[in-house]
Amino acid sequence: MCGIIAYTGYQAATPIIVEGLRRLEYRGYDSSGIAFVQQGQFRCIKAPGKLNALVDKLYANPNPMLATCGLGHTRWATHGAPSEANAHPHISNDRKFSMVHNGIIENYREIKAELTSKGYKFFSDTDTEVLLNLIAECRKTAPDNLSAFQRAIKLAHGTFALVLLCGDEPDTLYATRKSAPLIAGIGEHENFVSSDVTAFLAYTRKVIFPDEGELIRITPNTCTVFKLDNLAAIQKETQRIEWDAQSAQKGGFKHFMLKEICEQPAVLRSALAGRLDLAGGRVVLPELEGLKSLKKPERIRIIACGTSYNAGLWGSSLLEQWGNIPCTVEIASEFRYRKPLLSAKELVILISQSGETADTLAAVKVAKSAGCVTLGLCNVVGSSLARETDRVIYTQAGPEISVASTKALCSQMALLALLALYWARQTKTLSGEEIQKHLFHFEQLADLLEKELPEMREEAKDFAVRAASARNIFFLGRGRSFALALEGALKFKELSYVHAEAYAAGEMKHGPIALIDPEFLTIAIAPADEMFAKTFSNIEEIAARSGPILAIADKQGGKNIRSEQQLNIPRVPEPFTGFAILPLLQLLSYEAATYLGKDVDQPRNLAKSVTVE
What is the layout of strands, in order, in the sheet containing 499-504?
A: 499-504, 472-477, 521-526, 549-553, 565-568
Same domain, 257 and 393: yes
Is 178 within a domain?
yes
User: What confidence score (pLDDT) does residue 588 get?
Assistant: 95
Is 612 within a domain?
no
Burial class (CB in 10 A: 0-12, 13-18, 19+), 189: exposed
Active-site entry in 112, 178, 407, 608 = 608
Structural domain ending residue among the three candidates 189, 218, 247? 247
Same domain, 272 and 415: yes
Same domain, 230 and 106: yes
Residues of the chain by 3-state class (helix, strand, coil), percent to 5: 40, 25, 35
Whether this prediction's pTM lies above 0.85 is answered by no
Give how far Cα 398 sits from Cα of 180, 249, 487, Å: 20, 12, 21
Same domain, 86 and 137: yes
User: What confidence score (pLDDT) does residue 251 get?
Assistant: 60
Integer Cα distance of 270 and 317 in angstroms: 24
Q: What is the DSSP letter of 210?
A: P
Is 571 within a domain?
yes
User: What confidence score (pLDDT) does residue 212 get?
Assistant: 85
Same domain, 59 and 107: yes
Is 121 within a domain?
yes
Same domain, 419 and 459: no
User: What confidence score (pLDDT) does residue 243 get?
Assistant: 61
Same domain, 141 and 72: yes
Q: Are strands 191-194 and 183-186 parallel, antiparallel or unpaired?
A: antiparallel
Which of 379, 356, 362 is CA-nearest to residue 303? 362
Determine if the peptide bond prior to 570 is cis (ω within 30°).
no
Domain limits at 234? 3-247
CA distance between the termini of the chain: 11
Q: Please check whether residue 475 is in contact with residue 502, taking contact to mean a CB–CB distance below 8 angstroms.
A: yes
SS3 336: coil
User: What confidence score (pLDDT) does residue 340 get?
Assistant: 84
Same domain, 547 and 510: yes
Is 608 within a domain?
no
User: What confidence score (pLDDT) does residue 250 get?
Assistant: 64
> Is 608 an annotated catalytic residue?
yes
Give the 3-state secondary structure of 54-99: HHHHHHHCCCCCCCCEEEEEEECCCCCCCCCCCCCCEECCCCCEEE
Structural domain ending residue among the three candidates 183, 213, 247? 247
Which of 148, 35, 48, 8 is CA-nearest to residue 95? 35
Task: Output the CA angle 150-154-159, nearest 5 degrees.
Answer: 110
Active-site entry in 2, 166, 262, 410 = 2
Return the CATH number at 530: 3.40.50.10490
Same domain, 72 and 188: yes
Same domain, 457 and 389: no
Give the 3-state secondary structure of 23-42: HCHHHCCCEEEEEEEECCEE
SS3 501: strand
Q: Please check whether residue 126 is in contact with residue 148, taking contact to mean a CB–CB distance below 8 angstroms.
A: no
User: What confidence score (pLDDT) does residue 528 get?
Assistant: 85
Is 106 within a domain?
yes
Integer Cα distance of 578 and 395 in angstroms: 17
Domain count, the chain: 3
User: What confidence score (pLDDT) does residue 28 get?
Assistant: 61
Same domain, 28 and 152: yes
Same domain, 343 and 319: yes
Is 436 within a domain?
no
Integer Cα distance of 460 and 589 in angstroms: 9
What's the gap between Cα 188 and its chain centre?
30
Return the CATH number at 108: 3.60.20.10
Is 440 within a domain?
no
CB neighbourhood size of 606 (10 A): 16
Q: What is the DSSP letter of 523?
A: E
Rama region for 16: left / alpha / beta (φ>0; ψ in -120 to 50; rest): alpha
Structural domain ending residue among the three candidates 224, 247, 270? 247
Mean pLDDT by 10 residues, the chain (613 residues): 90 95 77 92 92 89 83 82 90 97 88 96 94 97 97 91 96 91 94 92 92 94 96 92 62 83 90 87 89 85 95 96 94 87 91 88 91 92 86 86 89 96 93 93 92 90 89 93 96 94 89 89 90 86 88 78 86 91 95 92 71 50
